[in-house]
């Protein structure tokens, strides 16, 4: 396995482990708590990540499949270019720029922790599987239409880096929600 693929695979494994530790021992009430009405709960953060990963993969998979048929195998490291690397850094926690998520990836209203975490872990496993299955492609040279930024194309290398960075961002957000909940005095 090439070093940047191994580093990425480790990042996916770390994100899964972080999510598991995040929800370990949480009650449904804790996972549903919001610091204010416009904020997301822990369950909603996980639900958002599941939806985002699924949509990203739906955009990336057909492009990877076509590249495989065309035998576009690895010629360079699977690293994002300048714009892609900037975008990945922008996603890293803590959030430097806050934006409203598109409607297609807004979390469902009050998903249960069990449902949101199951959806997250399934979508996360699919994303890590995509990385492993396509590591032999020239990910830095194959582009796909970004499903959220119309008119922008990312390389598959950028896409596979965006996913764990985005997950870290929202795991950080969920931990901030839990910290705020621990500061709140029961009424």
CB neighbour list of residue 166: distance below 8 Å, 6 or more residues apart: 49, 52, 91
How many domains would you assign to the chain?
1
Residue 20's pLDDT is 98
Two tokens at 3?
């070093």
Maximum Cα interatomic distance, the chain, rounded to a whole number of Å: 63
DSSP single-letter state for residue 106: P
Beta strands in 30-180 (DSSP E): 143-145, 153-155
Q: Among all chains, which residue has been given the structure tokens 């990312």?
A: 154
Structural domain range at position 74: 3-183
Using the predicted structure, report yes or no on whether residue 162 has a pLDDT greater than 80.
yes
Residue 98's pLDDT is 83
CATH number for the domain that contains residue 139: 1.20.120.450
pLDDT (tens digit per residue) in 51-88: 999 999 999 999 999 999 999 999 999 999 999 999 99
Using the predicted structure, report yes or no on whether residue 187 has a pLDDT greater than 60.
no
Q: What angle do CA 14, 19, 20 make, to 5 degrees?
A: 95
Lowest model confidence (mean pLDDT) among 26-40, 88-102, 116-130:
88-102
pLDDT band of 185, cuts 50, 70, 90: low
The better pLDDT of the pair 149, 159 is held by: 159
Q: How far apart are CA 84 and CA 11, in angstroms?
A: 17
């Amino acid at each position: 396995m090439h070093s940047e693929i191994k580093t990425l695979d480790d990042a996916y494994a770390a994100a899964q482990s972080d999510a598991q530790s995040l929800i370990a021992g949480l009650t449904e009430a804790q996972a549903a708590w919001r610091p204010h009405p416009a904020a997301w709960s822990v369950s909603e953060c996980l639900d958002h990540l599941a939806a985002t990963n699924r949509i990203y993969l739906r955009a990336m998979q057909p492009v990877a499949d076509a590249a495989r048929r065309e035998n576009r195998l690895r010629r360079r490291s699977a690293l994002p270019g300048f714009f892609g690397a900037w975008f990945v850094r922008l996603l890293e926690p803590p959030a430097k720029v806050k934006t409203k998520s598109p409607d297609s990836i807004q979390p469902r209203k009050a998903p249960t922790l069990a449902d949101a975490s199951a959806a997250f872990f399934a979508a996360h496993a699919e994303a890590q599987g995509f990385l492993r299955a396509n590591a032999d492609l020239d990910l830095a040279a194959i582009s796909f239409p970004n499903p959220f930024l119309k008119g922008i194309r990312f390389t598959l290398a950028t896409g596979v880096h965006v996913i764990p960075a985005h997950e870290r961002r929202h795991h950080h957000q969920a931990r901030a929600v839990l910290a705020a909940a621990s500061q709140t005095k029961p009424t």
